[in-house]
Structure 1
């Protein structure tokens, strides 16, 4: 059963070593992420599932490595410490970028409240399939917490990665309301095609969360909302 969730953005710039001279610009977002992770730890989970978007879906065991070398930084992370008895079918890695950012956040927070598992969600996965995946993940332990990583639209300004799209602000506003209110139905109703056109990488992971939280009765708080670099970033805590 899902007992808590933290929603965080997944830009590599969240990692100070990657952001370099611009690291201070996302300082408030990092602080909000730390606060959201504290909510997860307080929920006393049996398992923390880290969920993020990737070109292809797949599972990652605790201890799977990741790297930010592709962003010009010699920095490695891992999804928690390698278990004493690794699973025989453990994924070879490396972690996709969204899960690597999640691993960095957990290392930064010195996570030790529970074992970990990672799930990459194909960014084009249909909403119904996201819901089914979320339901399955919520059943993977008696007390499940989720760290969900994903960004809003990348089309908020002329200099945004996806240029300016007049629909982006409304999409992000709807996503922020849903995340802040733990509104499962509103998250599930986000338009997958529109999200793809707006380059909103968080759509699929958020809809996995919606499936996991169905019937859990969680309350939500929006801890951070902004669009630096023309991309919508949100931090929320559900408990």
Structure 2
């Protein structure tokens, strides 16, 4: 059963080593993420699942101990999901999870950011697993995935990584779209109120057009929270680079 969740944005710029001299511009967002994860540490959970958007081959489960890096973002910083491999059979290699046909796959960027946040907050309270979700996954499948995750242990927590629209300003990655502010407002309201119906009402096609990569992850959360009776708080809501970044805590 889901007992707590933290919702955080997943831009690599959240990591100071990536942001460099502009790291201070994300100080408030970073602090809000740490506060949200603090709620997870107090929840006495049996399992933590980090959910985030992923392209192939990063979709699907990633075990504790899976590795990722920010080499593609100008730094050699490496991260590990959780404090180390969980007990049980190990996959090939030590830096990631098994890939089809052998070899090792790294954490997708969203889960790498999640792993960095957990490391910075000293997470060692429960086993950790990652789950990469396709950006175009239909809401029904997102919700079904969330329900499966929630049933995987008596007390489950989620760290949900995902950004809002990338079209809030002319200089935004997706340029300006007049629909972006309303989409982000609806998402932020639903996340702050733990409104499951509101999250599931977010339109897949519109989210894709607005480059809102967090939509699928948020709808996984909605499915996981069915029947849990959680309350939400919106801790941060801004668009410093023309991208909607929201942080919320559910408990």
Equivalent in the alignment of 1:38: 38
What per-residue deviation string (whole Å, max 9, x for no partner) do you get for residues 13-36 of structure 1?
000000000000000001000000
Flag structure 1 segments of 5+ consecutive residues without an equivalent. none
Instruction: Work out whether residues 63 and 86 of structure 2, in 8 Å CA contact, stay in contact via their aligned partners in 1.
Output: no
Q: Distance in 2 between matches of 1:93 and 1:183?
A: 35
In the superposition, the TM-score normalised over structure 1's length comes to 0.98
- Give the match's secondary structure for 1:230: coil
Which structure 2 residues correspond to residues 67-216 of structure 1 after superposition, within 5 A?
Answer: 67-83=69-85, 85-89=87-91, 90-91=97-98, 92-216=104-228
8 Å contact kept, 1:5–1:147: yes
Change (3 A) 1:211 1:154: same
Q: Which ranges in structure 2 are unaligned for 5 or more consecutive residues?
A: 92-96, 99-103
Query: Across the two proteins, how many residue pairs are aligned to each other?
Result: 239
Aligned position for 2:250: 238
Q: Distance in 2 between matches of 1:217 and 1:111?
A: 25
TM superposition score normalised by structure 2: 0.93
* Helix, strand or coil at the partner of 1:196: helix
Q: Does the aligned pair in 2 maintain the 1:61–1:87 contact within 8 Å? A: no
